[in-house]
A and B are shown apart, each in its own frame.
Chain A
Amino acid sequence: MTTLALSLTINGATHEVVVPPHRTLLDVLRNELGLTGTKENCLEAECGVCTVLLDGVAVNACIVLAAQCRGREVTTIEGLAAGGELHPLQRAFIDRGAVQCGYCIPGVILAAKAYLDEVAAPSADEVREALAGNLCRCTGYQKIVEAILSVTETR
């Protein structure tokens, strides 16, 4: 099997990996780099638990080849808290009871962050639409939406 030597920038740090070309960004994050904050489930872009930011934009890591990430910035949940300070979204999710089993939460927080970076004061309906690609089975989405809106209100 041929392999590619890839230099990837994850959360501002450079990582060198050598992997077969078919390996996805999700594979590399979880299995090569031990960054298990990004989760694995359907592997076909239906559930959103693998959501990461690629140059600030939300994507499903399960259908992005690691090779496509050369020269681009990948942000995972591990990269969100700056210098030990929780991101306001992380804080809000804790305070508003938006976390239950928590498996969807890293993907949801990143999708929310990418959206709020674009739209400063969305409505509840707009937030729901922005999360359409992130399935949550525990919360019914309600406290997740409330947590996200609470962040926009305090800006």
Chain B
Amino acid sequence: MTPGTRIVGRSLPRMDAPGKVTGTALYAADFALPGMLHGKVLRSCEPHARIVRIDTARAAKVGGVRAVLTAADVPDVRYGGSVKDEEVFARDRVRFAGQPLAAVAATSPEGAAAALEAIEVVLEPLPAILDVAAALAPGAALVHEGWASYTALPILHRDGNVCNRARIVVGDVERGFAEADRIFEHRFTTPSVHQGYTEPRAAVAQWDSSGQVTVWSNTQLPFEIQTTLSEILQIPPSRVRVIVPGIGGGFGGKLRVGVEHFAALLARRAGRAVKVMTTSEEELTAAYARQPAIVELKTGVTREGRLTAREGRLWFDTGAFAGSGPGVASVATLMLAGPYRIPNLLLEGRAVYTHKTNFGSFRAPSGPQANFAVESQMDIIADALGLDPLELRLRNIVHEGEEGPTGQVLAAVGLEECLRKVADAIDWKNRRPAPGRGKGIACGWWTTTGGSSGVYVKVNPDGTVALNTGAAEIGTAALTGAAQVLAEDLGVELADVNVVSADTLSTPFDFGAQGSRTAFAVGNACRAAAADLKRQILALAARQLGAEESALELRERAVVAADGTRVTLAELARISQATGGGLIAHGTFVAPPTPYDAKRVEGHVYPAFHSPSFHAHAVELSVDADTGEVTIHRYVVAQDVGFAMNPTYIEGQIEGGVAQGLGQALSEEIVYDEGRVLNANLTDYKMPTAVDVPRIESILVQHPSLVGPFGAKGVGEPPNIEPPAAVANAVASAIGVRISSLPITAEKIALALREQAP
């Protein structure tokens, strides 16, 4: 039998499914404590204003109210990731419509709502910077007058309303353009879109008599929340315990503090546990949605279709606080290059402050925006040169051993195989099957984010194995994958493994469920722990069986000697527990840094893609020439996953990621008017229903990573990247209309068609 195929590589049912289908699995939104209070947050209706007065006297008198807080009641602390510019409540100045002004806790939700109504707020509206153009206009006012005084990562290039400018420079773009036969310049725009998790953000906080607080939250990053709360509450991190009971979807929107700090601050004031949960309106107004983007792309190409140079600029509207902006602007530069060989590059990503909510990380941050631009332009170029769009790509994609844009050497490059397989599957030779019907293709690459993970593993006296990890399960089945790795290495079944997760007090550190890293990093930590445990097991078994360790095998829940004598894992665990303290190990993993050429980058917090994945999408669709409505007939994805740890759940990531990507492609946008969200509800924020999403065909390509467990790469984010470009290209192919802004609505198509008609 090939090593590694007993448990890993099989589509085994996920471990937490029974609890989820019976309604017994507990999510943070379900969590409650006896006597708990209900917390609510009052938010600004103005995008930019001076706070004249916030008067909470009447609110404090509303029946059942036990705490009322404003900026005056909390430490004057600025926190944040790459730039510490964030605050719990607006103090003196409001910087976005939806910014918290106050919070209350009461014995009933009605009481809390009544208390909010009773808070008097007087705001003096100020001119608001509504978009990137306004923020960068000469003489524009500053969103943060004190920007230079904020603590920030030294590597960032900050200047006024630009909270980072990341840059990649390779070769000489002017020379590259001079070598080109044709130069193409295009501009693309994308709006903000929301992760759309079906479980609102929720947290319950409770203080104990020694000044320690426990927070139950549906965060993806319990250790980061622990750190942030420590800063906000001004207590050591060790006095903050964050526990994740269960998460109903995250997609990056539950990375940073959202309601945990309100719950903790209110609970401290009230002396009772407090629960805070967001509403749909709060989610669509004041959450960590995807940054709106503007992309300008200038690409030089020879008449044979060889790319010679690219100058690309991407501006992210990062909202009122930097948040993920600086990092996303960095990643964007790698996505503007795409998985292509381009000898001359000048690529810039800028995160720009405006008076909107501080946008955050959403599944493959910067990916869909940059890929929409890059892959749309590739098709425009192919069309102009009279080349097949597939052929243009094949002539320029990177291969094994070649360089990425920052000089990293690329290994395990499955891109050509992905492109050829989707092209075959969609019958690419027949690109324009009928009038109004067309096919489109798009490809890309993505990273498996680094960061460290630790696990504790022990063998119980009944032979089961306990896996203790700091990672949270957000729904991808990553922890089932990690458990499969552990079961594989320890010679047990998946059903023998029990997982305890995501408690900053009792589980080891994990960098968090982000960046498609969980199965990869926790899986590898499990391998390290399993190796240590195996040594202990074999040493003990050798003594029990009177055999040499080298003659022993760990399999089928036992240690077996060459002559057939065996001792069960359960028995060994019992013996060890009685006489030696137990079979216990820990394992840690952090991905080795990926070497790159530091001279090529500036202001860059993400200069290389680790264990990169490669992917290609193809779609066939029809367009109704009168209404502009798009009907998708087929959608195929080929994704290089390195090693398919659990094919069913990887398909699940692809199917879900494409559905979410199609929403961004065709129907989703958070609509702003004068700095206020017009469609802050699920009636008018249009996520795809079961009737809207087509069948998606997944092809799993495997070019094993040198680093990942059994060769696996990160798989969760990539499927969200290519749908907008694939759809845009197919629409252009079907009806000759190129839409360069998202979403590609029927209205845009219909109006563009009418503009074109003679």
Contacts A46-B682, A142-B695 given; does A135 touch B198 at CB 8 Å: yes
- Give the Cβ gap from B275 to chain A, nearest Cβ, in Å: 11
Q: How far is the CB of B267 from chain A (nearest CB, A)?
A: 19
Give residues of chain B (242-264) contacting chain A, Cβ–Cβ below 8 Å: 246-251
Instruction: Tell me the complex Cα distance, A77–B24, Å.
Output: 9
A123 and B336 alpha carbons, distance in the complex (Å): 43
Please determine whether B648 and A97 come into contact, CB atoms closer than 8 angstroms: yes
Q: Say yes or no: A134-B690 contact (C-beta < 8 A), given A43-B280, A143-B655.
A: yes
Cβ B248 vs Cβ A47 within 8 A: no
B682 partner, pick from A94, A102, A124, A135, beta carbons under 8 A: A135
Docked Cα-Cα span, A76 to B11, in Å, equals 30
Q: Which of A80, A86, A101, A132 contacts B249 (CB under 8 A)?
A: A101
Cβ of B693 and Cβ of A141 under 8 Å apart?
yes
Pair B23/A44 contact, Cβ less than 8 Å: no
Q: Which of B132-140, B421-429, B472-480 participates in binding chain A? A: B472-480
Measured between alpha carbons, how far is A106 from B32 in the docked complex, in Å? 19
Residue of B nearest to A106 (CB): B23
Q: Which B residues are CB-close (under 8 A) to A129? A: 690-691
Interface string of B622-648 (1 = CB under 8 A from A): 000000000000000000000000001
Task: Determine whether B299 belongs to the interface, using a CB cutoff of 8 Å to chain A.
Answer: no
The contact of A137 among B32, B651, B687, by CB within 8 Å, is B687
Q: Are A100 and B475 in contact (CB under 8 A)?
A: yes
**Which of A2-10, A32-40, A53-61, A65-73 is the contact stretch?**
A32-40
Taking CB atoms, residues of chain B closer than 8 Å to A37 are 22-24
**Could you say which of A35, A41, A100, A109 contacts B199, with CB atoms under 8 Å apart?**
A41
B461 within 8 A of partner (CB): no
Q: Are the CB atoms of A138 and B20 closer together than 8 Å?
A: no
A63 interface residue per 8 A CB criterion: no
Chain B residue contacts of A144, Cβ below 8 A: 690
The answer to whether the Cβ of B652 comes within 8 Å of any Cβ in the partner chain is yes
> Does B23 lie within 8 Å of A143, measured CB to CB?
no
Give complex CA distance A17, B247 in Å.
30
CB distance from B78 to the nearest CB of A (A): 32
Q: Which B-chain residue is minimally distant from A96 (CB atoms)? A: B648
A67-94 interface (Cβ within 8 A of B):
76-78, 80-81, 86, 90, 93-94
What is the CB-to-nearest-CB distance from A47 to chain B, in angstroms, rounded to a whole number?
6
Q: Within the complex, which residue of A47, A93, A103, A128 is in contact with B690, where a contact is CB–CB below 8 Å? A: A128
Chain B residues with CB under 8 Å of A43's CB are 279-280
Interface check A149, CB cutoff 8 A: no
- CB-CB under 8 A from A80, the residues of chain B are 22
Expressed in whole angstroms, the minimum distance between the Cβ of A92 and any Cβ of chain B is 9
Q: Which segment, of B148-156, B486-494, B597-605, B656-664, faces chain A?
A: B656-664
B639, chain A: closest CB distance, angstroms:
14
Whether A104 sits at the interface, judged by CB under 8 Å, is yes
In the complex formed, the residue of A with least CB distance to B29 is A40
Q: Is the CB of A100 within 8 A of B656?
A: yes
Pick from B17, B32, B198, B693 the residue with the most CB of A within 10 Å.
B198
A142 near B648: Cβ-Cβ < 8 Å: no
**B589 CB to nearest A CB, Å:** 24
Which interface residue of B199, B246, B474, B648 has the most chain A CB atoms within 10 A? B199
Most chain A Cβ neighbours within 10 Å, of B648, B655, B657? B655
Which A residues are CB-close (under 8 A) to B26? 36
Q: Does B696 contact A (CB under 8 A)?
A: yes
Smallest Cβ-Cβ distance to A133: which chain B residue = B689
Q: Is the CB of A132 within 8 A of B23?
A: no
Instruction: Check if B198 sits within 8 Å of A104, measured CB to CB.
Output: yes
Check B386 for interface membership: any CB of A closer than 8 A.
Answer: no
Contact between A99 and B30 (Cβ–Cβ < 8 Å)?
no
What's the nearest-Cβ distance from chain A to residue B128, in Å? Answer: 28
Query: Is the beta-carbon distance between A140 and B18 smaller than 8 angstroms?
Result: no
Listed by A's residue number, 11 A-B pairs whose Cβ atoms lie within 8 Å are A47-B198, A93-B17, A93-B21, A100-B477, A103-B197, A131-B689, A131-B690, A134-B690, A137-B196, A141-B655, A142-B655
Which B residues form the contact surface with A (CB < 8 A)?
11, 13-14, 16-27, 29-30, 32, 195-200, 246-251, 277, 279-280, 474-477, 648-649, 651-652, 655-660, 681-683, 687, 689-691, 693, 695-696
Residues of A within 8 A of B (CB): 30-31, 35-44, 46-47, 49, 76-78, 80-81, 86, 90, 93-97, 99-106, 109, 124, 127-129, 131-145
